[in-house]
């Protein structure tokens, strides 16, 4: 649904997407992270105001390396389309990324 690219749909997807970012299933987490990046391209202001960027940054702390990889990919895609810094790599963030990298496969 996030790939449809219609601004009016973005408003309807916000509540379900927020629930998906907190869902117990790992597949739902990793898919929701990519959806945030897609919706950010459509309506950045709406997503920033609803705390989606913070939710993506929280997913960097997830135990599953696939969720971490998708969260970083989504933040990187958002950063490419934003004029301000989105993800600043601090020492605690770097250690989380390195831990996830150690557990990743290709």
47 close to 36: Cβ distance less than 8 angstroms? yes
pLDDT at 2 over 80: no
Task: Calculate ∠ Cα 46-49-53, nearest 5°.
Answer: 95
**What is the Cα 14 distance to its own chain's centre?**
13
What residue segments make up the domains of the chain, in order of their start?
7-103
Residues 6+ positions from 40 with CB-CB distance below 8 Å: 47, 52, 77, 78, 81
The model's pLDDT over 45-57, given as tens digits with 9 standing for 90+, comes to: 888 888 888 898 8
Question: Would the pTM count as exceeding 0.85?
Answer: no
The burial of 54, by beta-carbon neighbours within 10 Å (0-12 exposed, 13-18 middle, 19 or more buried), is given as: exposed
Tell me the mean pLDDT in the region 14-21: 89
């Amino acid at each position: 649904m996030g790939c449809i690219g219609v601004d009016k749909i973005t408003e309807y997807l916000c509540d379900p997407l927020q629930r998906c970012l907190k869902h117990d299933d790992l597949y739902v987490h990793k898919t929701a992270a990519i959806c945030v990046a897609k919706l950010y391209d459509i309506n950045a202001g709406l997503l920033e105001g609803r705390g989606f960027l913070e939710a993506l940054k929280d997913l960097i702390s997830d135990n599953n390396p696939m969720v971490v990889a998708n969260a970083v990919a989504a933040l990187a895609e958002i950063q490419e389309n934003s004029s301000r810094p989105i993800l600043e790599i601090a020492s605690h963030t770097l250690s989380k990324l390195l831990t996830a990298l150690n557990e990743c496969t290709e």
